[in-house]
Copies of this chain bind each other. A is one copy, B any other.
Amino acid sequence: MQLIDGKLISEQIKAEIAQQVKQMTAEGKRPPHLAAILVGHDGGSETYVANKVRSCAQVGFQSTLIRYEADVTEAELLGRIAELNADDDVDGFIVQLPLPKHIDDQHIIQAIDPSKDVDGFHPVNIGKMMLGLPCFVSATPAGIMQLLRRYDIKTSGKHCVIIGRSNIVGKPMSMLMIQKTLPGDATVTVCHSRTSNLPEIVRQGDIVIAAIGSPEFVTADMVKEGAVVIDVGTTRVPDPASPRGWRLKGDVKFDEVAPKCSYISPVPGGVGPMTIVSLLTNTLQAATQRNR
């Protein structure tokens, strides 16, 4: 069994990005610039955005954090998005989700210029991903593809079983894994809460991607000997021993599943660290495409 070390890979990729930024600035170009809009003071969102800003600094990107109180109007946000779309000094930007209930996520997402949509949430980017055209792929699926690539995991002709059908993981992963490109070229099954014989189906998976958000859902009896298991779950469970009072639990019962696997990604330290790297990669790509 080999551990898929997302922390290690993410550090490697960050170093590669930092190197490219150095080269850009050596050529007299300005570094890539990511802007992030944060609405309100949700604890999770604060942490995520702070991590993104810190990661930008690590690789030499410029970053701008734009804050609004939770009572900001949709019109105000849309106005700011229009400014960012038009701002030649901004290569890409994100609006941290979730947004307050009075704001329609899709109004906001669809207002972002797709060429600056480094979160890959705009329907145009999602549609292009499905068609196999160049686009920004969202953070988690892009991070998983990167892990498969860096560990040189064979996917062509393999049966990839995805548990979960969310818009941000299950659906895009299924579309990426059936493309003719590598990693990909796999037979893909998507199962979910309504699947009648789920364990039987998951047992067929040469590659299992668990993304249901149900802690330790995948047990040893559901996994084929030699399978590759990617755990996308990140549920916070109470843990008095932790200074934060909680710890992250994945969708896979790691201790019993790991011995059966050829490769397995842990939680934390697997897919998680890759998501910010995907955002950095997309921002670098946006900056490069803007031909500065």
Contacts and interface: CB of A to CB of B under 8 A. Distances in A.
A197 B128 CA distance: 29
A190 interface: yes
Interface stretch (A92-100, A119-127, A249-257): A119-127
A55 interface: no
B178 A187 contact: no
Interface stretch (A40-48, A167-175, A278-286): A167-175
A178 B171 contact: yes
A192 interface: yes
Interface of A is mostly: mixed
- Give the most central of A170, A190, A192: most B CB within 10 Å: A190
A112 interface: no
A20 interface: no
Interface string A163-189: 001010011101100100000011111
A190 B174 contact: yes
B156 A178 contact: no
A36 interface: no
